[in-house]
């Protein structure tokens, strides 16, 4: 006998089924609420208690600090898999065998050519344009070069769309950075692996040989895996809701990039570094900023701390902290900003305000540190997040369409004026 939940409204009791997920998460299915009650709805700003869908992609338990893609723990994937294997797993549901993985890698390489016309679009942006705005626009521009909407019911069409965007996106990322730095655009090198190719396209200087550093390759690979999906966060929900109107894959991804841009979401990694730089400029007094973060009359928040769903240590942060230490020691970096980061981390983990609210450093606290050490400009940090999140967005978009989800259209509770009469302009 499945569980039911009862809701009493104005003396009448209504029953609703309780659904249970494979990890025993329970949810009251209120899809018939308005119909049964004659118009009563629910309200949940920020959707803190609202599930928007049933999904088989990522499992996250914020209380325990658990994150799994398709049933595999993030710890095991970060240690044993590479980014393209994880991308395949997320999008197609299973780990690829050797032949499938090789084909996936090769098909992505074949698609890593970007129409020359796109360069003109990149050129048209001012050099100082924020790379996230540029990336979102370029991803949107891909729809103009690929006008046919993908047929989600055709496995072949879906696969082709996946390798196309996975191939072209790193090129757009690299060009976005090089535009920002006034550097000539580099093409993809098909002799290289996905990560090595990204690093070369980003960092190769004219007239110089680019030498790969395995520590950086490993750190970037891990960072991308850790960012690859995170169930129904702000940008993923955006991708799903835009796609729910049957807008195309690239258009939906472009919307996801815009959602990711904000400092409370993907933009936090940039905000972390800006905050650290501000503290350094102000004399490096971390105690002063700890006090500001705790002062409710001060809008300052410690960026890179806290998480909407993790009320325990972010499991991704644990993994990436190790990679951050490796990168810093391999590159022999002594950076006052990074020392401030370490100081804040130490102080926050011992401070009752942060401990009692379960505000731990999140993945973006450490990812910003690694990106800085790698020489990636601060404004590019969120672009790197988008690069990692791409397979997750695609997987969620595909799932949403295959499950034939209805168009996303929330309700509201109207709190504006009641009916009133129009007053002509001369009488106002
Ligand atoms: N610094 C100081 N106080 C904080 C912070 C912070 N970073 N984060 C939360 N708090 C306090 C908040 O003031 C509140 O205190 P009280 O209970 O006394 O009113 C309490 O902790 C709970 O905060 P909340 O705003 O209700 O928590 P939330 O779940 O709505 O917000 C958050 C989550 C991530 C938006 C927030 O922690 C924050 O703004 N963090 C800084 C930005 C950041 O690092 N974002 C990246 C998130 S990870 C990347 C991603 O997945 O997108």
At residue 384 the predicted structure's pLDDT band, cuts being 50, 70 and 90, is: very high
Q: Is the CB of 233 under 6 A from ligand 1?
A: yes
Tokens representing residue 272 in the block: 């972390």
Give the position, in ligand 1's atom list, of the atom nearest the Cα of 301.
1
Alpha carbon of 312 to ligand 1 centroid (Å): 13
The residues near 232 (Cβ < 8 Å, ≥ 6 apart) are 51, 52, 53, 55, 240
> What is the distance in A from the centroid of ligand 1 to the CA of 212?
37
Indicate whether residue 308 lines ligand 1 (CB < 6 A). Answer: yes
Q: Decide if pLDDT at 339 tops 80.
A: yes
Residue nearest to atom 52 of ligand 1 (CA): 265
Q: How many of the other CB atoms lie within 10 Å of CB of 178? A: 18
CA of 266, closest atom in ligand 1: 52
- In this predicted structure, what is the pLDDT of residue 1? 62
∠ CA 40-42-43, rounded to 5°: 135
* Centroid of ligand 1 to alpha carbon of 359 (angstroms): 7
> What residue owns the CA closest to ligand 1's atom 51?
265
DSSP, residue by residue, 353-373 = HHHHTT--B-HHHHHHHHHHH
> Ligand 1: which atom is nearest the Cα of residue 296?
13
Of the given ranges (135-149, 224-238, 413-427), which has the lowest mean pLDDT?
135-149
Q: Which atom of ligand 1 is nearest to the CA of 305?
A: 7
What does pTM read for this prediction?
0.91
Q: Give 312's pLDDT tier (boundaries 50, 70, 90).
A: confident
Interior/surface letters 135-161, b for 16+ CB within 10 angstroms, e for the rest? bbbbbbbbbeebeeebebeeeeebbeb
307 counts as catalytic: yes
Which spans in 111-183 are helix H? 116-124, 131-145, 155-181
Structure tokens, 24: 């025993």
pLDDT in tens, 80-112: 999 999 999 999 999 999 999 999 999 999 999
Long-range contacts (CB closer than 8 Å, 24 or more residues apart) made by 259-264: 259/234, 259/235, 260/132, 260/234, 260/235, 260/382, 260/385, 260/386, 260/389, 261/130, 261/132, 261/133, 261/136, 261/382, 262/234, 263/303, 264/234
Q: What is the pLDDT of residues 341-361, one digit of tens each?
A: 888 999 999 999 999 999 998
Sign of CA dihedral 363, 366, 367, 368: positive
pLDDT mean across residues, the chain = 93
Beta bridge partners of 73: 68
Residue 357 Cβ < 6 Å to ligand 1: yes
Residue 133 has pLDDT above 70, yes or no: yes
With a 6 Å cutoff on the Cβ, whether 307 touches ligand 1 is yes
Alpha-carbon distance values, 259 to 232, 308, 335 (Å):
12, 16, 31
C-beta of 91 in contact with ligand 1 (< 6 A): no
pLDDT at residue 365, as a whole number: 87
Q: What is the pLDDT of residue 364?
A: 84
Ligand 1 centre to CA of 308 (Å) is 7
Q: Which of 142, 150, 204, 198 is nearest to 174 (CA)?
A: 198
* pLDDT band at residue 311 using 50, 70 and 90 as cut-offs: confident
Give the number of other CB atoms < 10 A from CB of residue 93. Answer: 14
Q: Which two tokens stand for residue 31?
A: 């899809």
Ligand 1 atom index nearest CA of 230: 51
pLDDT over threshold 80, residue 147: no
pLDDT-derived band of residue 121, with 50, 70 and 90 as boundaries? Answer: very high
Cα of 51 from ligand 1 centre, angstroms:
20
- 427 DSSP 8-state letter: G
- The string of pLDDT tens digits covering residues 55-81 is 999 999 988 999 999 999 999 999 999
Residue ID of nearest Cα to ligand 1 atom 21: 357
Tell whether ligand 1 has an atom less than 6 A from the beta carbon of residue 265: yes
Where residue 136 falls among pLDDT bands split at 50, 70, 90? very high
Quickly count: other Cβ atoms within 10 Å of residue 37's Cβ: 15
Does the beta carbon of 304 sit less than 6 angstroms from any atom of ligand 1?
A: yes
Taking the centre of ligand 1 as the mean of its atom positions, its distance from the CA of residue 85, in whole angstroms, is 32
CB 134 within 8 A of CB 122: yes
Looking up tokens 């409370």 gives: 264
Distance 329 CA to ligand 1 centre (A): 30
How much is the pLDDT for 309? Answer: 84
Q: Which three-class secondary structure state does DSSP give residue 240?
A: helix
Catalytic position from the list 82, 221, 229, 364:
364
Q: Is residue 266 within 6 Å of ligand 1 at its C-beta?
A: yes
Distance 302 CA to ligand 1 centre (A): 8
Point out the least confidently predicted range of 18-27, 85-94, 311-320, 374-383.
311-320
Which one of 130, 227, 230, 307 is the catalytic residue?
A: 307
Q: Which of 226, 292, 298, 306 maximizes ligand 1 atoms within 8 Å of its Cβ, making it the mutation to test the pocket? A: 306
Q: What is the pLDDT of residue 256?
A: 97
- 246 assigned to active site: no
């Amino acid at each position: 006998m499945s569980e039911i939940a009862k809701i009493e409204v104005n003396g009448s009791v209504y029953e609703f089924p309780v659904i249970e997920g494979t990890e025993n998460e329970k949810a009251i299915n209120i899809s018939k609420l308005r119909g049964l009650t004659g118009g009563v709805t629910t309200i949940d700003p920020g959707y803190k208690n609202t599930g928007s869908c049933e999904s088989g992609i990522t499992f996250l338990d914020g209380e325990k600090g658990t994150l799994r893609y398709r049933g595999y723990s993030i710890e095991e994937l970060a240690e044993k898999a590479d980014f393209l294997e994880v991308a395949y797993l997320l999008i197609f549901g299973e780990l690829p065998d050797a032949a499938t993985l090789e084909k996936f890698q090769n098909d992505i390489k074949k698609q890593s050519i970007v129409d020359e016309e796109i360069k003109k679009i990149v050129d048209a942006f001012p050099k100082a344009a924020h790379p996230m705005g540029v990336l979102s626009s370029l991803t949107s521009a891909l729809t103009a070069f690929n006008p046919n909407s993908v047929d989600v019911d055709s496995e072949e069409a879906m696969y082709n769309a996946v390798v196309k965007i996975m191939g072209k996106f790193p090129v757009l990322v690299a060009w976005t950075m090089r535009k920002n730095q006034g550097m000539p655009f580099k093409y993809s090198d098909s002799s290289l692996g996905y990560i090595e190719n990204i690093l070369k396209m980003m960092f190769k200087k004219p007239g110089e040989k680019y030498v790969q550093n395995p520590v950086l390759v490993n750190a970037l690979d891990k960072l991308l895996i850790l960012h690859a999906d995170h169930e129904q966060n702000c940008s993923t929900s955006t991708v799903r809701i835009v796609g729910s109107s049957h807008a195309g894959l690239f258009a939906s991804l472009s919307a996801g990039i815009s959602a990711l841009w904000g400092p409370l979401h993907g933009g936090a990694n940039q905000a972390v570094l800006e905050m650290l730089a501000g503290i350094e400029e102000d004399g490096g007094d971390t105690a002063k900023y700890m006090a500001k973060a705790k002062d409710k009359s001060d809008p300052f928040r410690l960026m890179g701390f806290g998480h909407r769903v993790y009320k325990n240590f972010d499991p991704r942060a644990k993994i990436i902290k190790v990679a951050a230490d490796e990168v810093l020691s391999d590159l022999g970096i002594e950076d006052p900003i990074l020392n401030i980061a370490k100081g804040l981390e130490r102080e926050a983990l011992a401070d009752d305000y942060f401990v009692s609210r379960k505000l731990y450093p999140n993945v973006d606290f450490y990812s910003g540190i690694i990106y800085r050490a790698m020489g990636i400009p601060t404004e590019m940090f969120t672009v790197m997040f988008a690069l990692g999140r791409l397979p997750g967005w695609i997987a969620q978009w595909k799932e949403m369409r295959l499950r034939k989800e209805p168009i996303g259209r929330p309700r509201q509770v109207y709190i504006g004026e009641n009916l009133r009469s129009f007053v002509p302009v001369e009488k106002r």
